[in-house]
Every structure is written in structure tokens, then in C-alpha cells.
């Protein structure tokens, strides 16, 4: 028997391997319902060095979203949503999928406004606190107020400070905290300074008939200073609408005398105001009297 050996070439085998997964992350990794979510990813790798096609998709509660781009706005988010990002790499024959999911958490409540009215109070004013807040999830908000007077805590005040409890130079502060039932938002601390209350004068009158050969006097009434400052009253005399004298008065009786030679038919008027060392009152005027 003759044995014949024939040599033949083996077929070359092509072992294509699936793509190697890249990475994917969601930022922030614990998103809140008022966040914009961003996906961060790296492409897969083809073991054979080929070029891969990649497809990315957003999912919300297991349902694909018609969203392009690497960000998902807060307007699409609701607390409790499960947001997913799926990345698919395809080499023409095999595909590899990798993904990440994150649950949307509660958004922190916000304090939008803490404001005092009036903005520049005096010791005559009641302090009124205006507070506004917002919760992205629509939760009911609970506000807490901690008041301080010159850094000392005051216990019995909510949204109003009565005028009788304020004094010029006071620094009133309030710490406002907010809670949505799940978490607290950022607190806000605001303060306001109590300023001087201007003194008051109610009226001034020429207290006698104006005669050319007699003394003419004026009486000032209703002088008051809410801060109990010592005050100076001023009386300005005008003859025929021209200022001829200004006399300071330092106490009761608030009277002034015109030392000016009057002519018949001169028109005489007194004007008065009060100064407390910090500011002046509004000016009051007497009736115009005609000399005879």
C-alpha cells in the first residue's frame, strides 16, 4: 500500500470581538429637580482598531426621550424621576451598551426676598418684614424668624416690630430660615438701622394785629421730637416777601418778636421750623398780615 500525503492550506479565521464599553456619568450625580443634568461619556474601543459608531439616548422612567445633546433641562424633571443615559457602540457586526441611572431628588426651597419696610425707618415707624419664597417642587413652605436687637436675640417678634420698641441707632436683624417639609434651604440674614425721627412743629401764628407803631410777635406751637432730643425752633420774618430776620428759640415759650420798622400796608408773614441737631422739620407758615 502506498500512502500519499497531500498538503492543503487551512482557511484563515476572522475572530471579531464586540466593542469594549467606554464610560458614562451623570452630573450632578445626585440631581435635584431644579438642576440641569449633563451626561459625561467616553467612547468605546474596537479591539480590532476599527471605527465605532455611537448612539446616545436619554431615558426618563424607562421611556426614551426625544432629546438631543448632552444636557437635560430642569423643566423636564420631577422629583422621583429616574433619569438614564444609554450609550451604544456598534462595529458593524456587534454592539455593546453601557448605561447609568440616577433618581431625581427634592429641590431645596429658596428665599427670594427679605426686605424691611420702610427701607429707611425712623423711631416713629413700625418695622414690617416682607418675605417671599419659592419651592421648585411646589411644596408648602414653612418660614422661621429669629430676631436680634444689637446682636441680642429677641424672642417675641414675628413679622412686625412696633414703633414704640424702636430707638434711633438701633440695629434690628432677622435670620429667616425656610423648610419644605423634607429639607431646609439656605437661610438669609438681613438688618436695618433705625434713623433719627425729624422733629415736628404744628403751626406758627402772628399773635397780634400788625401795627406800624407796636410790637409784632409770633407764637410757635406743637413742637415735638420723638427721640427726645433738645431742639431749637427758628422763626423767619418776611416783610413784603423779603426775609428781614431769623430768630432762634430754645424753649418755652416759643415766641419771637419782629424787630423791624414797618410801614403802613407792609405785608408780614412768619415762617417756623425746628432743628434737633440731626435734621430739621418741615416749614410751617403763618397767614400774611397787613400792617396799618
Whether pLDDT at 7 is above 60:
no
pLDDT of residue 245: 95
Grouping H, G, I as helix, E, B as strand and the rest as coil, residue 165 is helix
Q: Is 130 exposed, middle or buried (0-12, 13-18, 19+ CB in 10 A)?
A: exposed
The C-alpha cell that represents 139 in the structure block? 411644596
Domains and CATH numbers, the chain: 23-103 (2.60.40), 110-193 (2.60.40.10), 203-290 (2.60.40.10)
Which of 40-44, 200-204, 212-216 shows the lowest mean pLDDT across its residues?
Answer: 212-216
Over residues 145-170, the mean pLDDT reads: 95
Express each pLDDT in 33-45 by its tens digit. Answer: 999 999 999 999 9
pLDDT of residue 168: 95
Express each pLDDT in 127-139 by its tens digit. Answer: 999 999 999 999 9
Grouping H, G, I as helix, E, B as strand and the rest as coil, residue 163 is helix
- Mean per-residue pLDDT over the chain, rounded: 93
pLDDT of residue 70: 95
What is the rounded distance in angstroms from the CA atom of residue 54 to the CA atom of residue 45? 11
Q: Which residues pair with 245 in a beta bridge?
A: 237
pLDDT of residue 271: 97
pLDDT of residue 256: 92
Whether pLDDT at 8 is above 60:
no
Whether pLDDT at 279 is above 90:
yes
Express each pLDDT in 259-271 by its tens digit. Answer: 999 999 999 999 9
Q: Could you write out the DSSP letters of every residue in 30-80?
A: S-BTTSPEEEEEE--B-TTS-PPEEEEEEEETTEE----SSEE-GGG--TT
Express each pLDDT in 54-88 by its tens digit. Answer: 999 999 999 999 999 999 999 999 999 999 999 99
Close Cβ partners of 4 (under 8 Å, ≥ 6 residues apart): none
Over residues 143-148, the mean pLDDT reads: 97
Over residues 227-239, the mean pLDDT reads: 95
For the chain, the residue count is: 292
Higher pLDDT, 113 or 10: 113
For the chain, give the percent of residues with pLDDT over 90: 88
Whether pLDDT at 278 is above 80:
yes
Binning pLDDT at 50, 70 and 90, where does residue 253 land?
confident
Whether pLDDT at 6 is above 70:
no
What is the rounded distance in angstroms from the CA atom of residue 83 to the CA atom of residue 60? 5
Whether pLDDT at 240 is above 80:
yes
Whether pLDDT at 14 is above 90:
no
CA nearest to 170, candidates 156, 190, 150: 150
Q: How many CB atoms lie within 10 A of CB 224?
A: 13
Stated pTM of the model: 0.76
Express each pLDDT in 62-71 by its tens digit. Answer: 999 999 999 9
Amino acid at each position: 500500500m502506498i500512502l500519499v500525503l497531500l498538503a492543503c492550506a487551512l482557511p484563515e479565521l476572522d475572530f471579531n470581538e464586540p466593542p469594549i464599553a467606554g464610560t458614562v456619568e451623570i452630573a450632578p450625580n445626585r440631581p435635584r429637580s431644579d438642576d440641569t443634568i449633563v451626561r459625561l461619556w467616553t467612547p468605546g474601543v474596537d479591539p480590532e482598531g476599527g471605527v465605532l459608531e455611537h448612539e446616545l439616548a436619554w431615558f426618563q422612567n424607562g421611556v426614551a426621550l426625544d432629546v438631543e445633546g448632552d444636557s437635560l433641562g430642569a423643566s423636564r424633571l420631577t422629583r422621583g424621576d429616574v433619569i438614564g443615559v444609554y450609550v451604544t457602540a456598534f462595529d458593524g457586526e456587534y454592539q455593546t451598551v453601557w448605561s447609568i441611572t440616577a433618581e431625581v431628588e427634592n429641590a431645596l426651597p429658596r428665599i427670594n426676598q427679605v426686605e424691611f419696610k420702610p427701607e429707611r425707618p425712623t423711631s416713629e415707624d413700625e418695622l414690617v418684614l416682607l418675605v417671599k419664597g419659592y419651592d421648585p417642587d411646589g411644596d408648602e413652605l414653612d418660614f422661621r424668624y429669629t430676631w436680634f436687637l444689637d446682636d441680642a436675640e429677641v424672642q417675641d417678634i414675628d413679622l412686625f416690630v412696633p414703633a414704640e420698641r424702636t430707638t434711633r441707632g438701633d440695629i434690628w436683624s432677622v435670620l429667616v430660615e425656610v423648610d419644605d417639609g423634607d429639607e431646609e434651604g439656605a437661610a438669609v440674614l438681613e438688618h436695618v438701622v433705625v434713623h433719627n425721627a425729624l422733629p415736628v412743629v404744628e403751626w406758627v401764628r402772628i399773635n397780634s394785629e400788625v401795627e406800624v407803631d407796636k410790637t409784632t410777635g409770633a407764637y410757635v406751637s406743637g413742637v415735638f421730637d420723638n427721640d427726645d432730643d433738645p431742639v431749637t425752633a427758628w422763626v423767619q420774618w418776611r416783610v413784603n416777601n423779603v426775609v428781614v430776620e431769623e430768630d432762634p428759640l430754645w424753649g418755652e415759650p416759643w415766641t419771637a418778636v419782629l424787630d423791624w420798622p414797618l410801614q403802613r400796608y407792609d405785608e408780614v408773614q412768619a415762617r417756623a421750623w425746628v432743628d434737633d441737631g440731626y435734621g430739621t422739620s418741615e416749614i410751617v407758615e403763618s397767614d400774611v398780615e397787613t400792617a396799618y
